[in-house]
Structure 1
Amino acid sequence: MGDRVRFRRFVQRLAVQEPLKVVFLGGSPLDGQSVSQSSESHLSHQIIAYLQSINPKVKLQFTAIPNVPLSYYSVFFDAHVDKDADLVFIDLAAEDPVYLQDGNHQIHEVLFRRAMDLPHRPPVIELMFQRQSANYTLARPEFSFTNGDYLSMLSQYYHQPWLSYRGVFWDDMVRSRAGWEKSEFFAADGVRPTARGHRAMAELLAQMVRREAKLLSTREPWGEDEETQLHRPLIGPLFENVSTINPGGLLRGQKLKEAADGEASRGFKWMDGPSDAAQGQGWRAREAGSRLVLDLDPADIVPLGPENINQAALVYRRAAQGVGSAMLVCGRACNCSRTALEGSREGLLAQAFAGVFKVAATGPCRVEVLTSDEGEFLVYGLGVLTDMGAVKPLV
């Protein structure tokens, strides 16, 4: 639990029923393929329901993108997380590479630091669901030292909680004791949790809240020294080069507005909302056949040269119903495959999603979004991801 100051402050604000925003940034385990996002069994539903039973002013901001590049959230953070977030869950252990000494752990720390540096000083809680099969861990025994240990080191370094199956009931699970078999907690892929797996993680969080609430009301009340600690400057990074690497760049807000070619576009109108909200501004269309043309010069946002760029992403709204779909195509000086942007799917929570696609940009390029059916289609951001060649390996 580290020094617990941030989490204690969250629990204190929860108890006095202040408005609170809880953020989930997820990958494969939370995307809903084994347990629907809108199901009462899903982790986000259980945690929000529990917190709202204490404080009805708790709100959810949710994103789960399967198979997302690890660098994605560190670059597109502002398109998914509001500035007033009060608690941030990060579920990207499945996307973090298993190789122990890998520069990608630095990219994970970039994301971690961005969340830690938010104005409300939220606690940042890493979630570690998945087990690692033998062929996925370089022949190490199952549940031995894995990438999850690097995530735990990161949490410990910043004095933040870290919730892990392996850290809580490893002994029972690895021995396949009755009721604790791996199949009880994981889908067949060994990554996505079952309904019971979601419940187990939610209960771990509930236990943390109950324990901290008891301490705050008894022998460890909130003190002035903790208020000082809460606002102390963020310590320097754990891994090398974290402050200098450049995993990519994002156009959103006014820059996204200026990137549109008004003459070539049709049917899309600018939505001008609060600039400090992740999805407060963007381009919106409501009719099939609408067209949004965006001009993107990678050199303007990633000063590494176009040869370092190998992926791009368009951030758009997704929900269970009422959201249209679209097709993304590349034009001038931009080589990429057509990418389908699915808007609605049963069981989804409303969220900012991303269409990630490989791209070869030789200079300023043009991206077109063509809506294919009726329904509201919202575009919140467009950006690029580098090959992270500038990241110095840890070995």
Structure 2
Amino acid sequence: MAETSPSVHQRDLSNIKRLLWSTDIKADIFRRWSQGFYFSASEPTALEQAEGGPCAIIAPVQAFILKNLLLKYKDLSFREMAVTSDMQTHLLVNALCEILEQCTGRKYFLVYLSDTISDQVVQNGVVSQQHTESESTVFHEGLRIHVFQGVEEGLEEVQSDNSNDTSEPLIDDTYGYGSQSLINLMITGRATTYVWDHEQDVGGLKLKGLEKQSQIGFITIMEHLRYCTVGSFYKNPIHPVWVLGSDTHLTVLFSTERRLVSPETKTDQAKRVFKHFDPDGNNFISSSLLQDVLQALDLVSEEEYVEVMRKKLDPENLGIILLNSFMDEFFPKEDNPMPDVFSLVHYNSLAQSNLDGQIRYRIGECVLLESDLRAVSESNPMLTVLQTKWPNIEVRWNELGTPSLN
């Protein structure tokens, strides 16, 4: 196979740079994103973040580190062991490799610094220059690329995943935060814009969400504020680890209780399908959609039967069918494998957001109340975001007060 020309490589590098940063890179944003990976002295299995911005990378990587630690140790005993730098490197490399492996069926672009520029890299990955050129310009001029061939996809697929506006960079060029597409790319291997399950038709547009249940989850306070709808693939991941989103930062939540992410039951599936036809989250659908819901769940959907059920579920002919009425009729309550009492552990990568500037895993004791009613407290964003996953949860953090989402 003929070797790819340097001009093609330069074009690829330009496209990658534009995909990440847009056309211009603010010096402050570049500096914040150049910190590199390093572990906390106070919690040696926890990555530390120097300043705001790169949590869209750090939080998902930390989530995969924790997922692997929980698979190996089953509990929090890893906090008691003596962690060496070799162990830290092993944890980090395994997490990064797992994240990359999710991007299957594509070309892989290995972007690296030339030896000349590498010699100028100093602590935390920031390029040191005495010249008038900006750090980001020097850095990017020193980049080289090697392409590992996969099927005939690649950078274009990442851009197409990023839904309808491929001109939107993965890193915001004004404030320096990571986009939802970047977060989804890190967690799932696909740079989709939305966090619901599958596709949704919005005004004739097919908007991509998640294709399948993810290894780790994602929940966000933005759902409470009705800026997005998080689907069950993210809320019920394969492992009990979730990236938590506030309006400004990403943290991580995890548990040693694996029953929190038990396989999807028929009741779970039914609620997920029902909510697909209820995109506004009103917990009801138009009665005219009943046949579509029944068909999607492979239930009896002949017109005569549907009409009988429509009258039964909407006896006052209001034109709507409530979620609870639908579930009571077609999916009587199953035994719920989820425990009523369990522990959650929270991690925040910013030292200044932890007590005394020391990063610590914070443990909360949780109980699921019998009542479905929840008391929303705008002054407690941690409880608010947890209630998007567990509506009837109460948490008592065992020390130092409620941890910060920001």
Rg (Cα) greater in structure: 2
> Is the strand fraction higher in 1 or 2?
1
Q: TM-score, normalised by structure 1?
A: 0.30
> Is the helix fraction higher in 1 or 2?
2
Q: TM-score, normalised by structure 2?
A: 0.29
Asked which structure has the greater RCO (Cα within 8 Å, sep 6+), the reply is 1
